[in-house]
Amino acid sequence: MDKAEQEQHTMQLQDILFAQGFGTRRVCAGLIQQGHVLVRSAATGEWQPCVDAGTEFEPEGLRLRVQGLDWVCHVRACIMLHKPAGIECSQKPSAWPSVYTLLPAPLRQRPNKGAVQGVQAVGRLDQDTTGLLLLTDDGQLIHRLASPKHDVPKVYEVTLKHPADTSLCAKLLAGVVLDDDPRPVRAAACELADPLHLRLTLTGGKYHQVKRMVAAAGNRVEALHRSQIGGLKLPPDLAVGQWRWLQAQDLALLGV
């Protein structure tokens, strides 16, 4: 069964709630039987209670209201988040709050899918780096976007410590050597927007790569913001700390 077919088959309501992260199957069945789950009719738009946990629905796009929380069901979770500074991209943060605390409980509690343990960040941003972060429970999507073999470009807005000229771009485009690899690492694109603002495009994903590349080229990073992954730009109306579902057009811009 391919992905399109998987998204069209029907499921019992208790299984849909479980897959969406509303608790164990037993908890989900209890929520339904106690009248805490409303289903929105696609035909009329009206909310109707469903107290039979075995009632079947097509899960993709199903609109639920669970204990007052409005929820649109998605078979696979694919979201974008505007990451703030002071947040770690880790389930077990060491010194800063976890980025997962910015997500609603159902997303945090979605069950594992094979080797993917719930919703995972696709790559990581340092705690002081802001900008576009993708999260999903789709293992194939994680591999497609995170693997260096696929060369998905990522655009970073770099605030520099020292004023720079075009020679900095020339160095980054020609390649700089980092301390853990003798092979030069090159930027895919580089533009100096102003003397303290560098727009840098990378296809790799080494540890602290932007900061280390800029340091190797003779400058320092004061602030770092990821503005784009593939063809997908961080929407200007997505506030810091907020998230939204990826739509079909967003996934197309990512090349998936």
- Last residue within a domain, chosen from 72, 93, 124: 72
- Last residue within a domain, chosen from 18, 50, 72: 72
CATH code, domain carrying 139 = 3.30.70.580
One domain for residues 170 and 200: yes
Looking at 24-33, 70-79, 89-98, which range is the least confident one? 89-98
126 is catalytic: yes
CATH code, domain carrying 67 = 3.10.290.10
One domain for residues 143 and 86: yes
One domain for residues 199 and 98: no
Amino acid identity for residue 176 in this structure: V
Q: Are 142 and 120 in contact (CB under 8 A)?
A: yes
Q: What residues does 189 pair with on adjacent strands?
A: 201
One domain for residues 117 and 169: no
For 125-173, the pLDDT digits (tens) are: 999 999 999 999 999 898 888 877 778 999 999 999 999 999 999 999 9
Q: In the prediction, which pLDDT does 151 show? A: 84
Q: What's the CA gap between 174 and 156, in Å, rounded?
A: 18
Q: Give mean pLDDT, residues 33-43.
A: 95
For 66-76, the pLDDT digits (tens) are: 999 999 999 99
Split into its structural domains, the chain has a count of: 3
Measure Cα distances from 253 to 22, 70, 215, 231, 234 in Å.
Answer: 30, 28, 31, 5, 12
Q: Which of 2, 15, 52, 126 is catalytic?
A: 126
Its domain, for residue 34, covers 3-72
One domain for residues 68 and 83: no
Model confidence at 8, pLDDT cuts 50, 70, 90, reads low
Task: Report the largest interatomic distance among the alpha carbons of the chain, rounded to a whole angstrom.
Answer: 68
Q: What's the CA gap between 211 and 234, in Å, rounded?
A: 21
Q: In the prediction, which pLDDT does 108 show? A: 94
Q: Report the predicted TM-score, pTM, of the whole model to 2 decimal places.
A: 0.91
One domain for residues 34 and 16: yes
Q: Extract the runs of DSSP E, i.e. beta strands, from the chain.
A: 11-12, 37-40, 47-49, 56-57, 63-66, 69-72, 78-83, 120-121, 130-136, 154-160, 176-178, 181-185, 189-194, 197-202, 221-229, 232-233, 243-245
One domain for residues 141 and 180: no
Closest among 230, 222, 228, 194 to 85, alpha carbons compared: 222
